[in-house]
Amino acid sequence: MSLQIERLDCSLGQHRVLHDLSGLTARPGEITALIGPNGAGKSTLLKAIAGIESASGHILLAGERLDSLPLEQRSQRLYYLPQDTSTQAALSVFEAVLLARRTQVAEPAATALSAVERALKSLELEPLAERELVALSGGQRQRVAIAQAIVRRPALLMLDEPTSALDLHHQLQVLDYLQRLARREAMTVILAIHDLNLAARFADHLWVIKAGRQVDSGTPREVLTPARLREVYAIDAHVDWPPDAPPRITPLSALRSLGG
């Protein structure tokens, strides 16, 4: 389902965080990466779409006004995975993923169990299935949280920095899996991410925001230019799109203060 944002404003307390975001589209079957410096408003935008933060403007999913749906109905269509995946829940990995599935979908137990097994396998979590959540490392917990998100099969999946705690193997493995999942299930996937090499490699489309304002949107090649990186991140960077290798963005130096 295609997501469209029009005239979105959001204030937190006295602070206006998002300013009139318009014309942002995320398509089914694609990964849309949301990029921008610290404090740009990436988490706030994802939370506003999820209905966790209140915002004005239009948020349309497959033409339907998400922003006028009650939270419960929104949550049947989307899933938002926050940046902080810490938990004190006294559950095993398997139980946590099963619970995520069962609170969302009414179905026979055997169907739920096989969905959980598939999700664990897809994220290489089978060896940890019986471990307690509280006994996991940060990266392991992050992968479990991603399994809890994907097992629900939402039409719109939003992940806030889903690879921030992952080692290099799992960064590639998770993003490759999300890309295949999006294509196979025609899922709309939006992820906030700081690593521009991963964004360039795995995203079909980028949204760029800075200080709550939309700076650009387009394909990685259109958006990730040295001039744009200078403007958005205050860095000098070398950008290379080799024909037979993944794109390479090499930060060279930090320029003036970025602020924020």
Ligand X SMILES: Nc1ncnc2c1ncn2[C@@H]1O[C@H](COP(=O)(O)OP(=O)(O)OP(=O)(O)O)[C@@H](O)[C@H]1O
DSSP assignment of 182-207 equals: HHHHT-EEEEE-S-HHHHHHH-SEEE
- Based on CB atoms, which residue is closest to ligand X, 35 or 146? 35
Instruction: Tell me: does residue 162 bind ligand X (CB under 6 A).
Output: no
Q: How far is the CB of 42 from ligand X (least distance, A)?
A: 3
Main-chain phi, psi angles of 140, to 5 degrees: -60, -45
Extended strands (E) in the chain: 3-12, 15-21, 24-26, 31-35, 56-61, 64-65, 78-81, 156-160, 188-192, 205-210, 213-218, 235-240, 248-254
- Based on CB atoms, which residue is closest to ligand X, 41 or 220? 41
Number of Cβ atoms within 10 Å of the Cβ of 259: 10
Instruction: Tell me: does residue 188 bind ligand X (CB under 6 A).
Output: no
Q: How far apart are CA 26 and CA 245, in angstroms?
A: 26
Count of residues binding ligand X (CB under 6 A)? 12
Instruction: Tell me: does residue 85 bind ligand X (CB under 6 A).
Output: no
Among 9, 12, 181, 185, binds ligand X (CB under 6 A): 12
Return the range that interacts with ligand X (CB under 6 A); candidates 8-16, 86-94, 119-127, 145-153: 8-16
Question: What x-and-dash track marks residues 19-58 binding ligand X by CB under 6 A?
Answer: -----------------x-xxxxxxx--------------
- Between helices 93-102 and 109-122, what is the axis angle to 10°? 120
Q: How far is the CB of 178 from ligand X (least distance, A)?
A: 19
**Residue holding tokens 């889903």?**
162
Q: How far is the CB of 258 from ligand X (least distance, A)?
A: 11
Length of the chain: 260
Q: How far is the CB of 40 from ligand X (least distance, A)?
A: 4
Return the range that interacts with ligand X (CB under 6 A); candidates 9-17, 140-148, 197-205, 249-257: 9-17
Instruction: Tell me: does residue 215 bind ligand X (CB under 6 A).
Output: no
Q: How far is the CB of 36 from ligand X (least distance, A)?
A: 6
- Based on CB atoms, which residue is closest to ligand X, 93 or 192? 192
- Nearby residues of 248 by Cβ (< 8 Å), 6 or more positions away: 197, 238, 239, 240, 242
Q: Are 194 and 161 in contact (CB under 8 A)?
A: yes
Instruction: Tell me: does residue 10 bind ligand X (CB under 6 A).
Output: no
Contacting positions for ligand X (CB under 6 A): 12-13, 15, 17, 36, 38-44
